[in-house]
């Protein structure tokens, strides 16, 4: 059995929904289908979820909301009409939206989630109706009935442990189950959503609960590529990648799956297969626990901008037991998380995301580091990019870091930080932001073309 999750671009219009239903009909093991809300039809278009957020905002601001409401109703009606579905479905969707819009909105976060969830919920009804119309026995499954219970953190929910037992029972349902992604219910019965892009999380939870053979994640790319395809023409498509490699690359900017989505499937060791709705013949990329083949030393290359390095030094720092704990406590007291911490004998670098280090916190932290810990020198280096090479095979290969550093030095790029991840599956180079894309392209040439 497979879980097949389809993203917004796969459901953006009637043609895309036809492709989705062909894919479902093609393989009997595709028994549970998870859908997102209809996404963008073209680059200038707006996703249904964004239309819904706008609708909720207008209502919460006590403004007239008819235009925003009908932008959503019309979007669904247009798809239903193109799929030649019964009029009653369009009426159902419209009355569902009106019911949500007129519900209590004294708690804005709760109201926002109720409205946001309408995209996935109605898309699931629409796909079910279309499958029925082409002679497939399909059933829409309400997440409440299925027992998809989540924490009451609106817009940022997490799965509750009992959900897995509840969902296990859904495999008894006959026919194809169409399950709306992105939301569930609190134990009080309120609709609550995952963070944006959270239909991936729904799919992963279902995959883990049902212990399926594979979690198919259908999107609009042929594969996960070894480098951001905006930087290189025809980049190398990865056939296989491990969860750990994917996690490292996601940290530095790979955004194929929602970050939290891998965890339920990972814990059960279920392979996640990224596939293209627009090109189902393409082999896609499989994310696995352990790889069988390594095609090269490096699996992928990624980079992210917007980091700051706070470098602290004090003579005989290494003699003081617990010194690092005291440093980190000061950052923690101010609620500033650190990303990396390369250290020397008498110096230590705390690498932070610039967005987490506003001026007021910076002033307080620096003052405390000086007064409480007597730190002699504090150098702050801004506009830093972290460039990363990732690959499980690196741990057993001699000379990968040397090759990468050599490549960057030939390119004339100064390395401010070198940090080999403790798991030995990644090496991070801290460089000036303006060289980030150039460095990525040079590293790609070194490891994938040369
Ligand atoms: N529709 C939601 C979003 O746009 C969730 C998803 O597509 O996964 O964020």
User: What's the 54 CA to ligand 1 centre distance in angstroms?
Assistant: 14
Which residues share a beta bridge with 417? 430
Instruction: Give me the pLDDT at residue 319, please.
Output: 79
pLDDT tens digits for range 169-183: 998 888 999 999 999
pLDDT tier at 314, thresholds 50, 70, 90: confident
pLDDT tier at 255, thresholds 50, 70, 90: confident
User: Which of 288, 278, 247, 158 lies closest to 425, judged by CA?
Assistant: 247
CA angle 101, 102, 104 (to 5 degrees): 105
- Rounded Cα–Cα distance for residues 247 and 263 (Å): 10
The pLDDT of 118-140, averaged and rounded, is: 97
b/e burial code for range 292-330 (CB count within 10 A of at least 16 → b): eeeeebbbbbbbbbebbbbbbbbeebeeeeebbeebeeb
- Rounded Cα–Cα distance for residues 368 and 376 (Å): 12
Whether the CB-CB separation of 251 and 300 falls below 8 Å is answered with: no
Site of tokens 């003052």? 367
Q: Which of 120-129, 188-197, 337-346, 355-364 has the lowest mean pLDDT?
A: 337-346
Whether the CB-CB separation of 272 and 218 falls below 8 Å is answered with: no
Please state the atom number of ligand 1 nearest to the C-alpha of residue 194.
5
pLDDT tier at 184, thresholds 50, 70, 90: very high
Whether the CB-CB separation of 35 and 179 falls below 8 Å is answered with: yes
The CA distances from residue 338 to 245, 248, 290, 291, 352, in Å, are 21, 16, 29, 31, 5
Q: Which of 72-76, 218-222, 280-284, 423-427 has the lowest mean pLDDT?
A: 423-427
b/e burial code for range 92-119 (CB count within 10 A of at least 16 → b): bbbebbeebbeeebeeeebbbbbbbbbb
The pLDDT of 298-307, averaged and rounded, is: 93
Residue 10 is given by DSSP the state G
- Rounded Cα–Cα distance for residues 17 and 5 (Å): 13
User: What's the 62 CA to ligand 1 centre distance in angstroms?
Assistant: 26
User: What's the 149 CA to ligand 1 centre distance in angstroms?
Assistant: 18
pLDDT at 354 over 90: yes
Helices 118-133 and 87-101, axial angle in degrees (round to 10): 170
Instruction: Give me the pLDDT at residue 293, please.
Output: 76
What is the pTM assigned to this prediction? 0.88
User: What's the 369 CA to ligand 1 centre distance in angstroms?
Assistant: 42
Instruction: Give me the pLDDT at residue 346, please.
Output: 86
Instruction: Give me the pLDDT at residue 5, please.
Output: 98
The pLDDT of 401-405, averaged and rounded, is: 93
Please state the atom number of ligand 1 nearest to the C-alpha of residue 202.
8
HSE-CB for 238 with a 13 A CA cutoff:
31
Please state the atom number of ligand 1 nearest to the C-alpha of residue 8.
7
- Rounded Cα–Cα distance for residues 206 and 194 (Å): 14
The pLDDT of 130-154, averaged and rounded, is: 97
Instruction: Give me the pLDDT at residue 92, please.
Output: 95
Instruction: Give me the pLDDT at residue 343, please.
Output: 84
- Rounded Cα–Cα distance for residues 354 and 428 (Å): 17
The pLDDT of 134-140, averaged and rounded, is: 96
Ligand 1, residues at Cβ distance < 6 Å: 8, 36-37, 47, 49, 119, 181-182, 196-200
pLDDT tier at 415, thresholds 50, 70, 90: very high
Instruction: Give me the pLDDT at residue 419, please.
Output: 85
User: What's the 399 CA to ligand 1 centre distance in angstroms?
Assistant: 42
Q: Whose CA is nearest to atom 8 of ligand 1?
A: 197
User: What's the 191 CA to ligand 1 centre distance in angstroms?
Assistant: 15
Instruction: Give me the pLDDT at residue 402, please.
Output: 92
Q: Which residues contact 437 (CB under 8 A, 6 or more apart)?
A: 231, 303
Please state the atom number of ligand 1 nearest to the C-alpha of residue 200.
8
- The total of other beta-carbon atoms located within 10 Å of residue 155's CB is 15
Whether the CB-CB separation of 246 and 262 falls below 8 Å is answered with: yes
The CA distances from residue 294 to 150, 290, 391, 392, in Å, are 38, 11, 9, 8
Query: What single string gives the DSSP state of each residue in 123-188?
Result: HHHHHHHHHHHTT--EEE--HHHHT-BB-S-TTS--B-THHHHHHHGGGGS-SEEEEE-SEEE-TT
pLDDT at 374 over 90: no
Which residues share a beta bridge with 2? 30, 214
pLDDT tier at 76, thresholds 50, 70, 90: very high
- What's the token pair of residue 79? 């798809």
* Residue 10: exposure state from Cβ atoms within 10 A (0-12, 13-18, ≥19): buried
User: Which of 315, 339, 216 lies closest to 274, judged by CA?
Assistant: 216
pLDDT at 421 over 80: no
pLDDT at 294 over 80: no
pLDDT at 66 over 90: yes
pLDDT at 295 over 80: no
> What average pLDDT is seen over the chain?
93
- What's the token pair of residue 115? 């409205």
Instruction: Give me the pLDDT at residue 331, please.
Output: 94
Q: Which of 28-32, 291-295, 414-418 has the lowest mean pLDDT?
A: 291-295
What's the distance, CA 87 to chain centroid?
A: 36
Instruction: Give me the pLDDT at residue 174, please.
Output: 86
């Amino acid at each position: 059995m497979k879980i097949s999750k389809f993203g917004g671009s796969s459901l953006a219009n009637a043609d895309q929904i036809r492709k989705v239903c062909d894919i479902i009909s093609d393989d009997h093991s595709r028994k549970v289908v998870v859908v997102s809300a209809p996404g963008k039809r073209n680059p200038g278009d707006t996703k249904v979820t964004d239309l819904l957020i706008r609708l909720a905002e207008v209502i919460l601001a006590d403004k007239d909301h008819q235009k925003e409401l009908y932008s959503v109703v019309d979007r669904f009606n247009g798809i239903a009409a193109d799929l030649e579905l019964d009029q009653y479905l369009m009426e159902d969707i419209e009355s569902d939206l009106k019911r949500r819009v007129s519900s209590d909105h004294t708690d804005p976060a709760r109201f926002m989630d109720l409205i946001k969830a309408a995209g996935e919920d109605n898309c699931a009804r629409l796909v079910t109706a279309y499958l029925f119309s082409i002679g497939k026995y399909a059933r829409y499954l309400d997440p409440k009935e299925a027992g998809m219970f989540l924490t009451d953190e609106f817009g940022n929910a997490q799965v509750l442990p009992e959900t897995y037992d509840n969902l296990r029972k859904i495999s008894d349902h006959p026919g194809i189950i169409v399950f709306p992604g992105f939301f569930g219910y609190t134990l009080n019965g309120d609709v609550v959503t995952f963070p944006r892009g959270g239909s991936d999380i729904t799919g992963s939870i279902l995959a883990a609960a049902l212990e399926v053979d594979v979690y198919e994640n259908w999107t609009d790319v042929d594969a996960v590529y070894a480098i951001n395809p905006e930087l290189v023409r025809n980049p190398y498509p990865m056939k296989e990648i491990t969860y750990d490699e994917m996690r490292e690359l996601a940290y530095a900017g790979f955004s194929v799956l929602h970050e939290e989505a891998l965890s339920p499937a990972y814990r059960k060791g279920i392979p996640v297969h990224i596939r293209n709705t627009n090109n189902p013949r393409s082999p896609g990329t499989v994310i696995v626990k352990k790889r069988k083949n390594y095609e090269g030393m490096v699996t992928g290359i990624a980079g992210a901008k917007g980091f700051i390095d706070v470098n602290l030094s004090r003579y005989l720092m290494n003699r003081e037991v617990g010194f690092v704990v005291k440093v980190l406590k000061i950052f923690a007291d101010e609620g500033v998380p650190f990303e990396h911490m390369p250290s020397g004998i008498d110096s230590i670098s705390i690498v932070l995301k610039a967005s987490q280090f506003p001026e007021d916190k910076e002033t307080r932290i620096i003052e405390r580091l000086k007064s409480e810990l007597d730190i002699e020198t504090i150098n702050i280096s801004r506009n830093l990019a972290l460039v990363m090479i990732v690959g499980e095979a690196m741990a057993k290969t001699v000379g990968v870091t040397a090759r990468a550093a050599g490549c960057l030095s030939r390119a004339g790029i100064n390395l401010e930080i070198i940090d080999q991840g403790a798991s030995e599956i990644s090496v991070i180079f801290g460089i000036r932001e303006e060289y980030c894309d150039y460095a990525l392209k040079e590293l790609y040439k070194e490891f994938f073309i040369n």
